[in-house]
Amino acid sequence: MNTDFRKSTVYQIYPKSFRDTNGDGLGDLRGVIEKLDYIKELGADYIWLTPFFVSPQNDNGYDVEDYYRIDPRYGAMEDVEELIAEADKRGMGLMFDMVFNHVSTRHEWFRRAMEGDPYYKEFFFFRKGKENGDPPTNWESKFGGNAWEYVEKFDEYYLHLFDVTQADLNWANENVRKEVQKIVRFWMDKGVKGFRFDVINLISKAGFADDETGDGRKFYTDGPNIHKYLKELNAATFGHDAQIITVGEMSSTSLENCYQYAGRDAGELTMVFSFHHLKVDFMGNEKWVLVPTDFQKLKNILFRWQTGMEEHNAWNAVFGCNHDQPRVVSRFGDDEKYWKESAKMLATIVHCLRGTPYVYQGEELGMTNADFTDISQFKDVESLNHYQILQDKGLSASDALRIVQIHSRDNGRTPMQWDDSQYAGFTDEGGDAPWIGVNGNHSRVNVKAQLADPDSIFHYYQKLIALRKELEVISCGDIHPLAENHPSVFAYRRTYEGHELIVAANFYGRTCQWKEAPDLTGFGRVIGNYAEESRPADGVWILQPYETAVWYR
């Protein structure tokens, strides 16, 4: 398999929504095995699977009850072993999603803690409340409400930065760290070739006090011992295998910390996910609002991270959507009139950047946001909580629903659209209805239709993935922002050992002019989303709605 992470592409699968082979309405591991040839045809090198361990599924598997057992709804250990082996035969590696900031309150460690076992109570953060009976701090859970839950038996509270059933682990306890290392080694021994670490930069807490901003982020984000913990984990586990790639999901992180997380010689992680570029349609850090995308902010953030990480020999994961995000073509493109053009444009911007691209299932088809019209169709705990919170703040039910429709994580979790049958080929005819509704546009947006169409979004992604392997200027080159203040154009230059690449994109659904465009003499177009090639004339480049092109010499 291709083990150069710079030339690799990772395909993310949300197993619950990928392919159901036993007709119970839930995706399963045999469904992933069944579709390995499809992923291979796309050109991916690694397959990232979101958690399929035993879990009560209060947060769709990110509330892990047992890291060593497979949830029966997904399959069995034999299925995992077969999946790893079959992927390896096709030159692909498996990347597992490890949730180590917290565990389910049904995990043995927490159950033992609740029985009063002092050894396991130290695995978590149990604290006395304030003298007036309030929780220990005013920190806010990321899913809404206070981040502390009262336990009458102890007259103490435990910390949960996420759902009340997700208790935070105390990484300051060496025994916790040793248990985590043991879990990673177990899956390495099974042949896993990659690890994605969920919200890993939250594991080091800086103490417990009220936060004047109210959310508590400054006390647990990129904490004082985070680099120590990651170096230790690296040295004890995956650092011994050069074939293994790792990526850390970094919540509200800083560029300065990410130099260290993903520095070439840092001894921590291969690369990082940061999310600042996906907050450009937020109001500050508040996502449950409706505001237009700030295009200039998007460019500023992406270019700052691209050039900053390069200057410090550090590596990014680059992406437009995942299981926690709305569909990128609905969010930043046009999922109706210019659906195909805008989906290809957004892909081009990401795949030619400096970093390892991640493709989320269905992104390569231009899958769109869910077309849900009633709150009863949503399943995501965060969305349901905030639907109520928005109304508690005075919004009408219809306005709260509109915000949820735009921002809900369920937009990325509707079933994969394989064909135009009743359940989009996710569940075979006669099986149970899928656990969450199928997008109504699956009759036209599906794998079967796109494999037959040489101009499809799928084939465009396929070519972008191949170009990264073919052209070292993409995988290894420097990046130089262009058109930094243009109101419509996203463009940059890549350079490497005498090779040059220019990427240009019109971010909007109207024709635009790029004055003082680069001279393309000697360049040839290697990919673009319009049949007709457009070049600058007299220093002016006229770009059609959502037009993008990549030029190379």
Q: Are 33 and 89 in contact (CB under 8 A)?
A: no
368 Cβ partners below 8 Å, 6+ apart? 327, 329, 330, 335, 339, 439, 441, 445
Residue 341 is encoded by which pair of tokens? 């053009």
Residues with Cβ within 8 Å of residue 77, at least 6 apart in sequence: 69, 70
For 242, residues 6+ apart whose C-beta sits below 8 A from its C-beta are: 3
From the list 149, 215, 222, 249, the catalytic residue is 249
DSSP classification of residue 29 = H
Which tokens go with 549? 């092109």
Q: How far apart are CA 450 and CA 326, in angstroms?
A: 22
The one catalytic residue among 28, 168, 198, 547: 198
State the amino acid at position 235 in one-letter form. A
| CA quadruple 14, 508, 293, 396: dihedral, nearest 10 | -80
3-state secondary structure 110-121: HHHHHCCCHHHH
Closest CA to 94 of 237, 208, 195, 212: 195
Backbone dihedral angles phi then psi of residue 58, each to the nearest 5 degrees: -70, -25
Cβ burial of 422 (10 Å; 0-12, 13-18, 19+) is middle
H helical segments located in 313-396: 328-332, 339-351, 381-392
Name the β-bridge partners of 317.
356
Active site residue 198: yes
Angstrom distance (rounded) from CA 25 to CA 436: 8
d(CA 226, CA 220) in angstroms, rounded, equals: 10
| Residue found under tokens 């390069």 | 310
Which stretch of DSSP H or E encloses residue 439? none
User: d(Cα 106, Cα 32) in Å, to the nearest integer?
Assistant: 27
What is the spatial order of strands in the sheet that 245-249 belongs to? 271-273, 245-249, 194-197, 93-98, 46-49, 10-13, 356-360, 317-318
- DSSP assignments along 443-507, one per residue: GTSSHHHHHT-TTSHHHHHHHHHHHHHH-HHHHT-EEEEESTT-SSEEEEEEEETTEEEEEEEE-
Would you please indicate which residues are annotated as catalytic (active-site) residues? Answer: 198, 249
